[in-house]
Structure 1
Amino acid sequence: MLIDIQEARDALRLDGPDNDTIIIPLLESIPSYLEVTTGRTWDTEPVHPLAQTVTKFILQLWYDPEGQDKDRLQRTINNLLTALTAIGRGM
């Protein structure tokens, strides 16, 4: 995974493992999503910090799409994915 469960909980502002059954499958899906959208894998060590950042934003959007400013969050994610794609091409 690109981030661990505690980092995911922190990004979502959640305490404890009550929602881990929802969070873990989302975390497991994000590396494939990043690979499809950027054309590169990002879950190898060391994980690129920008990949970790975009993971947190994607997790926020996927976890609770109605509770967020969805449009602003999607624009942020799109911009980060564009930057990550450019970085991936240069690697």
Structure 2
Amino acid sequence: MMYTIEQARNILRVDGSDNDEQITALVSAIPDYLTETTGYKAKDGVFSPVALTAGRFILWQWYYGENSDVDKVQRVIDCLLKALPAERAVNES
């Protein structure tokens, strides 16, 4: 997984384990989302700093949805997702 449940709770600023199932499902979906949208895949299970940062914003957006500042967060996510294919190309050469 990209983040442990403790890391994900910290990212979301969530106390307690009431929503762990939902949080775990979201965290589990992020790597596939990154692959489908950008072609990025973790190398040997290790995610780049850009991928981890994008994952944090994606998790926040998915978890809080309408309660977050959708436009601002989405712009950040879009910029980070654009950087991932370039990062992948550099790492493959």
State the TM-score, normalizing by the size of structure 2: 0.90
Q: Which residue of 1 aligns with 2:54?
A: 54
Provide the C-alpha distance between the structure 1 equivalents of 2:43 and 2:79, rounded to a whole number of angstroms: 20
Q: How many residues align?
A: 91
SS in 2 for 1:66: helix
Q: Which residue of 2 aligns with 1:79?
A: 79
Structure 1: 5+ residue stretches without partners:
none
Structure 2 vs 1, CA of residues 42 and 34 (structure 1 numbering), >3 Å: closer, same or farther? same
Identity %: 43
Q: Which residue of 2 aligns with 1:26?
A: 26
* RMSD over aligned Cα atoms: 1.3
Q: Which residue of 2 aligns with 1:16?
A: 16
Kindly provide the CA deviation profile for residues 14-66 of structure 1, in whole angstroms up to 9, marking residues without a partner as x.
01211111101111111000001111212633321111111110001001111
| 1:67 and 2:67 are equivalent in the alignment | yes
Checking the alignment, whether the CA contact within 8 Å between 2:38 and 2:84 is kept in structure 1 is yes
Structure 2 vs 1, CA of residues 43 and 15 (structure 1 numbering), >3 Å: closer, same or farther? farther
Structure 2: 5+ residue stretches without partners:
none
